Homo-oligomer: A and B are copies of this chain.
Amino acid sequence: MPASALIAFEARKTPIQARSAVTVEAISEATIQVLLTHGAERFTTTRVAARAGVSVGTLHQYYPNKQALLFAVLENHMNHVAETVEAACENARIKPLAEMIREMVEAFVDAKMERADISGALYRVSANIGGPALIKRISERLRKAVEAMLQTAPDAKLPPDKFAIDTMLAAMAGAMRSLLEAGPSPGAVRKLREQLVLLCQSYMMAATSVR
């Protein structure tokens, strides 16, 4: 991968006709498939194009380079997760603290598991395509959502600390990642869901009542 990092991430061209929209979608899906079947090392634009049934040239018409291609898929995935969690936070306002946390955590776990394959595959490239910066942005979004939700809790004694929420989110994401990278079994997922709820609940309880 000789490309110099972080240059030209924007999509090059926007689909206008219907067929090109199909092409772009095919490329996007092929990206995931190639990542899944060939691994991050042997992920090449040529392979993606072949899998998508288009030529390399076409691919490069929409994505200026390999990184942009991967970044687009990563961004898409993370946005989906973020939206799901945000919606859960909206929906859990005014409920008891423990219930809030439960709904938020379960929404997160479920959103991730919805496309566990993509999640797992993306971990392997995230760090090389500006993932951490993106994660930072998304985390901030989620922190705000969680913060707003917590402020409506009837049974929280203190306003929640921003840093504590960040920590909780990072911990949650970390545990999830650990599971996905290990290859999750249905049983393990169920258990993690439970444990993560308990973890976040007990931490938030402690963080909103102490200090």
Contact = CB atoms under 8 A, between A and B. Distances in A.
Work out how many copies of this chain go into the complex: 2
Contacts of A13: none
B182 A163 contact: no
A127 interface: yes
A196 B167 contact: yes
Interface residues of A, number: 48
A75 to B, nearest CB: 17
A174 B182 contact: no
B203 A198 contact: yes
A76 interface: no
Given A3-B41, A136-B182, A195 B167 contact: yes
Given A199-B199, A207-B198, A175 B167 contact: yes
Nearest to A127: B124
Interface string A166-191: 11101111111111011000000001
Contact of A1 (B1, B127, B170): B1
A72 interface: no
A36 to B, nearest CB: 14
Given A171-B171, A202-B206, 13 more contacts: A2-B42, A132-B182, A135-B178, A135-B181, A163-B195, A166-B178, A167-B192, A167-B195, A170-B174, A170-B177, A170-B178, A171-B196, A195-B207
